[in-house]
Amino acid sequence: MIQIGNKKINTNIFLAPLSASSDLAFRLIAREQGAKFCFFEMIDSNSLVYGSPRSERILQTCPEDQPIAAQILGADPEIMLKAAELILNRAPITFLDINAACPVRKVCKKGAGAYFLNNPAPLVRVIERLSSTLSIPITVKMRVGLNQVDIPSAVQFAKSCESSGASALFVHGRSQSQENVGPVNYEAIRAIKESVEIPVFGSGNILNPPLAKKMFDETRCDGILIAKGSFGNPSIYRDIETYLATGTWHPAIELREKLKFLKKHLLLVQQIKGPHAICHIGELAKICLWYLKGFSSSSRMRAQIFKSQNNQELLAQIESIMGDDLSGEISPCAEKI
């Protein structure tokens, strides 16, 4: 149980807002395997306000997809407020997160995302406007530096967010220039945790249960945000909870079990997107790569799958692979602690 603003949430392990990845099908598979709290994909506030069909599709949800939060990207307080109101009209979100962490250059050039790290004044105005107007808590996703990790600046930035009305911080332990690769700076996250009174979530390199425990132990954070660790591994949430409670974890996963998850994921995509799923073969192939990573015969399986022209052919290829002799196909956790 964790409290963010006036909201009590029954877990401190969240699925992150993963752009072009954590759609409804992704979230439903994750929830089935133990995820208790999820984010929508990141939402561009300008695109949503000006009627982008893709931004509206991101908000697709259902009663089983609760509780949930939204993260918005932008810089203009009034546009972001309008975006927040549109989201609230579509989905009963628990809280709203402001993205001050996106490292993409074209985003930063627009004065959004990680741009705020060196220019917090516009973000302060956004936090103040949203927190004083909306009835739900406002949170901030941040990084710990621009060109390099800068702990004093990151701590000051976190304090500015808190004093402006933020109810929690999600801290990615890398600099903007690192993007999503390289070591995570646990010391920086811990320094932020020790400098503020609001909850702090650690993010970055949480690829398996031991790394989740390391994040908690090294930073004393209140919760964690799971991103790439959930790709093709929907049971990571349950595995983390079990590991934190018992210290046990079985990283070896049979290929047949992974293929069952993959098949269910693709069927959900087909069910949700209907006949339009035929137009998303690239997206479907990406999903397949997540689940097949780490197996010795993955290159052969990829070659089979990439022959597919639509969802039906893709499912047929998976059925064919499942009919093969898969004995000995075990994928240990490929990521080192």
Calculate the CA dihedral of residues 286, 290, 292, 293 and round it to 10 degrees. 120
Rounded mean pLDDT, 148-169: 97
255-273 vs 311-322: helix crossing angle, rounded to 10? 160
pLDDT over 60 (residue 3): yes
Task: Write the single-letter amino acid at 324.
Answer: D
- When pLDDT is cut at 50, 70 and 90, the band that residue 296 belongs to is low
Neighbours of 313 (CB within 10 A): 15
Cα 287–Cα 38–Cα 162 angle in degrees, nearest 5? 130
Residue 309: phi, psi to the nearest 5? -105, -15
Tell me the C-alpha distance between 222 and 190, whole Å.
Answer: 10
Question: Does residue 325 register a pLDDT over 90?
Answer: no
What CATH code would you report for 2-246? 3.20.20.70
For residue 210, pLDDT over 60 is answered with yes
Q: Is the pLDDT of residue 216 over 50?
A: yes
What is the tally of helices (H) and strands (E) in the chain?
A: 14, 13
Q: Which helix (H) or strand (E) holds 169?
A: strand 168-172
Question: Stretch 280-295: mean pLDDT, rounded?
Answer: 80
- Assess contact for 135 and 174: CB atoms under 8 A: no
pLDDT in tens, 5-32: 999 999 999 999 999 899 999 999 999 9
pLDDT of the residue at 315: 80
Cis peptide before 67 (omega within 30 of 0): yes
Domain ranges of the chain: 2-246, 253-331
pLDDT in the model for residue 307? 75
Cβ-based neighbours of 110, under 8 Å, separated by 6 or more: 75
- Distance (Å, whole) CA 244 – CA 210: 9
Please state the pTM of the whole predicted model: 0.92
Specify the residue for token string 């240990």.
Answer: 332
pLDDT in tens, 28-82: 999 999 999 999 999 999 999 998 888 888 999 999 999 999 999 999 999 999 9
- Give yes or no for residue 277 having a pLDDT over 60: no
Per-residue pLDDT band for 101 (boundaries 50, 70, 90) equals very high
| pLDDT for 328 | 46
